[in-house]
Chains A and B, each alone.
Chain A
Amino acid sequence: MSGSLDGGSTSLLGRVRDRLEGPNTIGDSPAFWVGFAVAVAALAVYPFTTDPYTIIQSSRYLALSFLALSLCFIWGYAGVLSFGQVAFFGIAAYAFGIIGINLSSTVGVGVAIVGAVLAGTLSAALLGYFMFYGGVRETYVTIMTLVVALVLNTFMAQTAGSEWAVGAAQLGGFNGMTDIPSLTLGVGETALVLEGVGLYYALLVALVASYLGLRVLVNGQFGMTMVAVREDEARTTTFGYDVPFVKLVVFTIGGALAAVGGVFYASWGNYIDPSVFGIAFAALPVVWVSVGGRESLLGAIGATLAIERMRTGLSSGIGPIGSEWALVIVGGLLLGVILFLPAGVVPRLADLTDELREKRSERSQSTAATEEPTE
């Protein structure tokens, strides 16, 4: 935003950067973008350096990153703390399974993708309407979102009987829904089934695109509006903003992001079960985003990759302790971060870098000042 006021840059690259940069994201320097490009390139060549199992695991982390982006966007930028983003993730995952199993064709998968994302998005919009237009206090929003997820958990867990089927798709109760199709690209026999490395690249492209898209959004007018709502709702209303509507839009976008993650997740394992609505899974997005930094989209993604990598490591017996300690570590991490590093890791690092740079420039200024009289 400020870029356009300063006259902006005239080159195409400069104009693109203008849209991507602003007060609401960390990392606006050329050095940041070089680092970002290197990181994306590293993720792009990663499949060539490792085994298929690791690639499949990494795809899972990338799918979960959408869930992290979703929470980071609504909590970090609009101040709406949801403990139940997994609800929209799970709804989309089940919807993808139900539609995909019933329409078993490549076109069917396309319909399933659209239908599933819509299902997750509309659920978020509906819940958001009840919460924001009622004008409930913010803590109620937080606990109601969790209640919705937990009740869905109870609901899906008791759908074991054969009467719980939608067409050909058995909901499967506690054991979950199996035979969910993989994602496909294209139509008919030429279609490309996205599995293994293919799915990994599809996820990487989608994630980078979502990240950049969100950067444009939060650095534009709407981002300013979100931040204004986060900082002071009452004041923002007196500038003529329809605050419940703003929150509804934000929450719906968040639901859509979670839903995209859910579709990827269901197609990744060809399977979904009620634990996606459970309290342990619902806690994970909160952990990733708190650790990475709620006001840093990239931090949220980074923390997701790191924490999930750690959890995989523990459950496959790497390290001195067993997998049962993973949740203790995750819970402890959450508690520790919120106590001692409330802004999260990435914003703290950015602050430290800024301080360092300031100190350095101060020092060079003071040397300049001492030199001045001699001139």
Chain B
Amino acid sequence: MIAATAAPLTFSAYSLIALLFQFLNSFGFIVLATVGLAIIFGMMGVINLAHGEFILIGVYGTALPFHAGVPLPVAMIGGVVAATVFGVLVERTIVNRFYDRLLDSMVATWGLALVVSQLLLIVFGSSLDSISAPMGSVAYGPFSSSIYRSVFLPLVAVAVLVGLYALFTRTEFGIKARATIEDPETARAMGIDTDRMYTVTFAIGSALAGLTGALYAPALGSITPNRGSTFLVEAFVAVVVGGPSVIVGTLSAAGVLSVFNATGSFLFGTFIGQMLLLLVAIVALRALPNGISGYLDDWQQRRRAEE
């Protein structure tokens, strides 16, 4: 995913800047790839195997109008809307049957993923023309970084997390949503329509997946129906490493994983960066079975207990 040139083994100030940009690039990508999946997993316990395809719908929903002449920012809105509408349909017809069968919900959404990516292939062919990234790039010494990918998208990622934080802590919806996660039975007894909460949550997760697709449509290079799994791997790893808490989990996992990914990619190439992600995730399974956010919760409890 990273546009790094040859890896120089002598460090200079330029290398450090390049490493920083690489980190930001990776951070933005992991946060945006994860957040839609994490919100649905954190609130409903459901892992949406079709998450990559939801993002793809965002990509196609943006690229198709753009190629038809619509300006990019407007086309992006199309991508978000397409993924949201699709998400609501899927929740109402499929996912809502599986709230007490979590493993089966993964199987079902995987079936959906196969159908969607293959239909995209059949309908739109093996690839769409790529969209060039806006905003140009900045050159420094022997390096250059895309402003869109290394500055703009990480900023959007942070804005999304801040927005979600505000949504969950400052709005009535957020309070109801947290009550529903905590204890759906009690929430129902308090008059919260938990079914509706799930639908809305799924819609938000789908919209975020659509947003990710829209934002990365001009940053993917060629647009092919199998790009979904690129997003899926990073999102899965981040959810495992981050744990069930949406904001803390996503933020901490993206931070930790990006350090490994960026350093590995910068020094040894993108491929080693990817391998490092897997290794970190496997070690995390053993050391932090509930992810970083689960560990932080425990630690907080223990500290409070000692006081």
Interface residues of chain A, those whose CB is within 8 Å of chain B, are: 81, 83, 127, 129-131, 133-140, 142-144, 146-148, 150-151, 154-155, 158, 279-280, 283, 286-287, 290, 324-325, 327-328, 330-336, 338-339, 342
Contact = CB atoms under 8 A, between A and B. Distances in A.
Interface stretch (B10-18, B79-87, B113-121, B212-220): B113-121
A324 B110 contact: no
Q: Which 5 A-B pairs have the closest CB atoms?
A: A331-B114, A334-B111, A335-B111, A331-B115, A327-B118
Interface in B91-116: 94, 97, 101-104, 106-108, 110-115
Nearest to B112: A335
A328 B119 contact: yes
Nearest to B279: A151
B187 interface: no
Given A130-B282, A328-B122, A335 B102 contact: no
A142 B49 CA distance: 10
B287 interface: yes
Contacts of B21: none
Contacts of A138: 102-103
Q: Which of B111, B118, B119, B232 has the most CB of A within 10 A?
A: B111
Secondary structure type dominating chain A contacts:
helix
A151 B233 contact: yes
A334 B50 CA distance: 13
Given A137-B290, A139-B106, A331-B118, 15 more contacts: A83-B106, A131-B285, A135-B289, A136-B290, A138-B103, A143-B239, A147-B281, A148-B282, A279-B226, A328-B115, A328-B119, A328-B122, A331-B110, A331-B111, A339-B97
Contacts of B240: 136, 140, 143-144, 147
B107 A334 contact: yes
Nearest to B116: A331
B232 A150 contact: yes
B283 interface: yes
Most B Cβ at <10 Å: residue of A81, A136, A330 = A136
B289 A286 contact: no
Interface of B: 41, 45, 47, 94, 97, 101-104, 106-108, 110-115, 117-119, 121-122, 226, 229, 232-233, 236-237, 239-240, 271, 274-275, 277-278, 281-283, 285-290
A336 B104 CA distance: 12
Contacts of B102: 138-139
A155 B122 contact: no
Contacts of A280: 114
22 contacts: A130-B282, A136-B285, A136-B289, A137-B289, A142-B47, A143-B240, A144-B281, A144-B282, A147-B240, A150-B233, A155-B271, A279-B229, A287-B111, A327-B117, A328-B122, A331-B110, A331-B115, A332-B111, A333-B111, A336-B111, A339-B94, A339-B97
A130 B285 contact: yes
A151 B118 contact: no
Nearest to B283: A130
Contacts of B104: 338, 342
Contact of B274 (A83, A127, A151, A338): A151
A143 B274 CA distance: 16
Contacts of A325: 118, 122
Nearest to A332: B115
B275 A151 contact: yes
Contact of A335 (B94, B226, B274, B285): B94
A147 B103 CA distance: 16
B108 A335 contact: yes
